[in-house]
Amino acid sequence: MSESERPTVRVSALFQLGWFRWLPTAAIDVDGLLHACPGEPRDEAGQALALLHARRGGLKLDEGDDAVKLEALQRLSATLPPAPAWHDPTQDIDLATLDDPADVEAERAEHAELVAQHDAMLAKAGLAPARTVDDVIGLMIRFGLITVEGEQQRLTLATDPPLPTEVLPLSEEEKQREDSLRWRSRFGRLSQRVLRLFLTEQGDLAKTRMTTTVDRIAVTLEADPDAVRQAILVLIDEGDFTVERQSASIDIERLAGHQRFDLVVDPVKFGERGSYRVNAKIERDDA
């Protein structure tokens, strides 16, 4: 399958900037709703997300005339309890039905620890724990991820949201880790496209050395040269690629776009990679 034929996957600013690591899981639903319905009134957004949560929990809806169905859905959603801030992936599992519930118990404990860590982070910022989806919306407004307009509090995803490190009470170690994760998230996919230049159509390693330039790779991949440079740095950081000139290691950041270098892969270390296939293009929100 060619690059142009691959399906496109939207990557929201929550993922690009790393916010999904610092918000309750319902934030993903809020983001998806406001991407599809910008300007949604806050109370209607809450009702829509309550209905989504109920349907995930098994609520069945009658089929019928679209207009009648919409009116019925609006009445129904207004009666539903608020959607929770956190989605426990094991809440519908009955441990009594399992031969060995240890894995599920461990997953529940991990989820509880995640919620506790988030509560502690909010407490450090002087904020109350998030327990409902409206609490999550409130956090996203406070953190600058959502803008609000008018008496109906119409919600829209921010066009220039801040980084978590700019608004959250993080330690220096957490900030450094967040910067590293965000960098990998931003350029990791392009790094895999660079990596594929070394592969056969079957995904096997076809060569271990490629003499090239940053500009040449950028033209081949139809990518920005600076982004290509960062993608190569991701490959280097992962441990199996190096950049050389005349068999000596060199810093790719010090090379001009037109300067030739050898991009070299260690076949043994490459074989230890867990995955290097890319099956979908990425459509990124402006962030």
What ranges do the domains of the chain cover? 3-168, 174-273
SS3 112: helix
Q: How far apart are CA 261 and CA 214, in angstroms?
A: 9
Topology of domain 174-273, CATH: Arc Repressor Mutant, subunit A (1.10.10)
Phi and psi torsions of 64, nearest 5°: 170, -165
Q: What is the pLDDT of residues 116-144, one digit of tens each?
A: 999 999 999 999 999 999 999 999 999 99
Q: Do the Cβ atoms of 63 and 69 come closer than 8 Å?
A: yes
Q: What is the pLDDT of residues 151-166, one digit of tens each?
A: 999 999 999 899 999 9
| Number of residues written out for the chain | 287
Res 144: pLDDT: 95
Res 243: pLDDT: 96
Q: Do the Cβ atoms of 16 and 184 come closer than 8 Å?
A: no
Q: How far apart are CA 32 and CA 42, in angstroms?
A: 14
Res 287: pLDDT: 45
The b/e string for 86-100 (b: 16+ C-beta within 10 A; e otherwise) is beeebeeeeeeeeee
Q: How far apart are CA 277 and CA 203, in angstroms?
A: 8
Residues of the chain with pLDDT under 70: 1-11, 62-70, 96, 274-287
Res 278: pLDDT: 46
Res 203: pLDDT: 81
Q: Do the Cβ atoms of 135 and 46 come closer than 8 Å?
A: no
Q: Do the Cβ atoms of 280 and 9 come closer than 8 Å?
A: yes
Within 10 Å of residue 14's Cβ, how many Cβ atoms?
Answer: 23
Q: How far apart are CA 247 and CA 259, in angstroms?
A: 15
Res 276: pLDDT: 52
Res 265: pLDDT: 94
Res 1: pLDDT: 47
Q: How far apart are CA 134 and CA 113, in angstroms?
A: 22
